[in-house]
Amino acid sequence: MKKIFFTLFVAIFSMLSINAQNFQGMAIYESKTSIGDKMPKFDDKQIPPDMQKMIEERMKAMFEKTFVLNFDKTASIYAEEEKLDAGDEMSRGFKMMGSMMGGGGKQYKNIKDKTILQEKEIFGKEFLVSDTLPQIKWTMGTETKKIGEYTCYKATAVVPTDKSNMMNYRPKKGQEEKLKNLKQEDAQKTNFMDMVEMPKDKTITAWYTPEVPVSQGPENYYGLPGLILEVTDGVTTILCSKVVLNPKEKAEIKPLKKGEKVTQAEFADIMMKKMKELQEMGGPGGRPGGMRIGG
């Protein structure tokens, strides 16, 4: 009985706090992408071992990121935690690859106006991807679990795949073993884009807490009766590690303005054109030099 009373008290207190005039909240998320044994290996003898190790460590870091979500009752700003950039050519290259894999740039979404804006950069050119916030048809579950101090409920949905995110590509049927066992001499003349495809949609599982009754979440996810603390698509998991309600320092939650304004579909087309250019130059998705896929 005491436990039920305490849970109700916390829920009511949270609702009163959120209904305050200047309510804001902050949530920190850790994003991890599982790539199994697919991490590229380097066997180019012209690259020193210490350099090979550094490249592999930087590539691994691209799959483990930290994001901060600042939110109020209707809008939010979601951004990757800023890290020191060495400013050299390698750092710029990894920054570009990170952008192609869905990282980098701030995201603004307004659940009242149904708008979403995201800053993106490709080859030094800045874009502002602007679109209508897509509706997510959630299937509500009864399963619960604890994330930190919060009781969370399960929900699932099928959502369209982001065609501008390279991480959403999957090997075509019968191509996975070829990619894993590809030899360096064959990689020089292989068009990797012919060996992969983009699924139309994907199934996601989310865990939300009514104890923070705002319809917000990381990335494009929203629309549940509580803050989303965890979401996974089977490959990438985004997990909340900290929630702060009414922080002392208020964040600026306003629509983004930087960059050439394009729709999500237009940006996906631009990304595909840039990918083809990279293939012709021997970059990602084309002829990767000393990089081979697999173990």
Task: Give the integer Cα–Cα distance in Å for 253 and 265.
Answer: 25
Phi and psi at residue 192, to the nearest 5°? -65, -30
pLDDT at 242 over 80: yes
Tell me the pLDDT tens digit for each residue of 94-116: 555 555 555 568 999 999 999 99
> What DSSP string describes 78-138?
EEEPP-----SHHHHHHHHHHHHTT-SS-EEEETTTTEEEEEEEETTEEEEEEEEPPP---
Neighbours of 51 (CB within 10 A): 13
pLDDT at 204 over 70: yes
Tell me the pLDDT tens digit for each residue of 141-180: 999 999 999 999 999 999 988 777 777 777 777 666 666 6
203 three-class SS:
strand
Q: What is the chain's length?
A: 295
In the DSSP assignment, the letter for residue 294 is: -
pTM for this model (two decimals):
0.76
Burial 15-36 (b: 16+ CB within 10 A, else e): eeebeeeeebbbbebebebeee
Task: Give the integer Cα–Cα distance in Å for 85 and 94.
Answer: 10
- Residue 96: per-residue pLDDT: 58
Q: What share of the chain is helix, strand, coil (3-state, %, to 5)?
A: 25, 35, 40
- Residue 288: per-residue pLDDT: 41
Neighbours of 124 (CB within 10 A): 7
- Residue 35: per-residue pLDDT: 66
Q: Which residues on neighbouring strands pair with residue 64, listed in sequence order?
A: 32
